[in-house]
Amino acid sequence: MSTTLNNCRALDAHDPLRGLRDQFVLPEGVIYLDGNSLGVLPKTAAARVADVITREWGQDLIRAWNSAGWFHLPRRLGDKIAPLVGAGAGELVATDSTSVNLYKVLSAALSIAAEDTPGKKTVVSERSNFPTDLYIAEGLCRERGYRLQLVETDGIAAALNGDAAVLMLTHVNYRTGAMHDMAALTDAAHQAACLAVWDLAHSAGAVPVDLRGAQADFAVGCGYKYLNGGPGAPAFVWVNPRHADRFQQPLSGWWGHAAPFEFTPGYRPAPGITRYLCGTQPILSLAALECGLDVFCAAQSLGGMAALRAKSLALTDLFIELVEQHCAGHGLALVTPREHAQRGSQVCLSRGEGAYAIVQALIKRGVIGDFRAGDGAGHADILRFGFTPLYTGFEDVWHAVGHLKQVLQTGEWKTAEFNQKNTVT
């Protein structure tokens, strides 16, 4: 039997997580399916940042580093992120950007590899990995005398043989929503005497992650997607405790010093994860990120990541079902895996013509997804829809597919208005 609007409303009515939606600012008339690019605004964030500005900064001034606990924010927020990714307390810090953090951990991984397996000179990654990760790896390989080997998804395990020193992967692929088996691939890397570096940008806060259980070596992730920390929010970095004190990361700024306020001329790295900090932290941005993380604390009493994952899969299943029921014959092809174990929290559809314009027409109607261009290696343009279980409802999915059907049937996407490329797609 086909799913109806009433079915979707019933699913919302019985959703144990439905109250979390009230903790976010969702503009009237907007169906937001782009939380995998930028999460929405937590209702507490504006007042919290204003308080940091007017009271903590305005009244306490420099005293706020102590009185308001500014100095400890990276560690405090790190401990709030840790349960979402299977890390322990004191093992993770919120700091810098994902790209900068990747530079830190990949540098450390190459240093460990140079000591433990000096004959291995290759970093292996997926050809469809997020480009900034590949750019960082390319630069480091050039500096260190390593080779970056890019392979297709089904060739990852085979590429670990020979001189592979580090495997660097994104857990959920940004273009397709396909999710790797972190434990299996990390184990394959370790069996080949290879270190495993994971980017959690498209999984932290949306799918269960168990870094410790998988015995991963290093991980980084994003604060402004599913964690709802705001545009450019600080990212996070995790290092397996067995590696944390082996090497200092290359950006040896004063916040990563063992005693930053001794102001000694020589660098002495702090113990553990603290050495992965660098310069003075962005306090306003960290305050906003904490508001996003506090919603996950509220979700913990409602089943935590397991409940969020169950809803994510139900939302994406429904979207796939409705697209196939109502949009057949319009050239859309499902790119995201149907298998739950291989799917992140997004659904991607390819189309040979007009993908960008279709997304723009949907945005004009208030259904916000995004577009990703083909990669020039045979992969088509993508219409990408993210499903954040904290605030996306089942009725949202119904209406989003209804708008997609109308855009395709009427051909409104063909108008010039929707075919003018914006800078950000």
**225 included as an active-site residue:** yes
**76 included as an active-site residue:** no
**121 included as an active-site residue:** no
Catalytic residue, chosen from 224, 226, 236, 371, is 224
**384 included as an active-site residue:** yes
Catalytic residue, chosen from 311, 343, 351, 384, is 384
Q: What's phi and psi for 212, nearest 5 deg?
A: -65, -45
Reported as type and span, the H/E element at residue 195 is strand 195-199
Catalytic residue, chosen from 121, 225, 343, 351, is 225
Going by C-alpha positions, the residue among 367, 368, 370, 356 that lies closest to residue 413 is: 356
Reported as type and span, the H/E element at residue 67 is helix 64-67
In whole angstroms, give the CA distance from residue 52 to residue 60: 10
Q: 161-183 burial string, b = 16+ CB within 10 Å, else e? A: eeebbbbbbbbbbbbbbbbbebe
In whole angstroms, give the CA distance from residue 391 to residue 35: 10
Cα dist from 144 to 114, 118, 252, 378, 415, whole Å: 10, 12, 18, 32, 50
Residue type, 210: D
Going by C-alpha positions, the residue among 311, 419, 354, 299 that lies closest to residue 22 is: 299
**224 included as an active-site residue:** yes
Residue type, 96: D
Cα dist from 417 to 358, 363, 364, whole Å: 11, 12, 10
Catalytic residue, chosen from 15, 133, 199, 381, is 199
In whole angstroms, give the CA distance from residue 46 to residue 387: 24
Q: Cα-Cα-Cα-Cα dihedral of 291, 296, 298, 300, to 10°?
A: -160
Question: How large is the greatest C-alpha to C-alpha distance in the chain, in angstroms?
Answer: 72
Going by C-alpha positions, the residue among 368, 353, 362 that lies closest to residue 406 is: 362
Q: CB of 101 within 8 A of CB of 87?
A: no
| Catalytic residue IDs | 130, 199, 224-225, 384
